[in-house]
Amino acid sequence: MIPTKVHSVIDYVYGILLIVAPFLIRFEAIPAATWILVLAGAGALLYSLLTDYELGYFKLIPMRIHLALDVIAGAFLAVSPWLFGFADQIWWPHVVAGAISIIVPLLTSRQSGSN
């Protein structure tokens, strides 16, 4: 199992990577593909700040809800290239990010060490 403290570090790194990925991988010219990752990254950072775990700042969201949000966001990211019609241009970053966002919560402890 991944401890919540490790998960919290992963969250912030993951959120930042989602935001910069379109520019690092060079697909920023595809607006839908770019904005979906940027908004997903910003959302991940926001709800990480609100989560009741070691690196959460406001501690308003229980860990179980945070993990559910991760899985929902991951499923959305994984299907977004087909939902928004850019799969013929780029799809793999969204599918990989989505898979990570589904797998990591499934392997994470449900109880925060900050409780």
Give whole-number Cα distances, 50 to 19, 37, 101, in Å: 19, 20, 17
Spell out the per-residue pLDDT of the chain, length 115, in tens. Answer: 999 999 999 999 999 999 999 999 999 999 999 999 999 999 999 999 999 999 999 999 999 999 999 999 999 999 999 999 999 999 999 999 999 999 999 999 988 765 5
State the residue range of the domain holding 21. 4-106
Domain total of the chain: 1
Model pLDDT, residue 5? 96
- Kindly state whether residue 112 falls inside one of the protein's structural domains: no
As a whole number of angstroms, the distance between CA 4 and CA 84 comes to 33
Give whole-number Cα distances, 83 to 36, 52, 70, 87, in Å: 11, 32, 19, 9
Give whole-number Cα distances, 99 to 56, 73, 106, in Å: 23, 10, 11
As a whole number of angstroms, the distance between CA 1 and CA 52 comes to 18
Model pLDDT, residue 110? 85
- Kindly state whether residue 111 falls inside one of the protein's structural domains: no
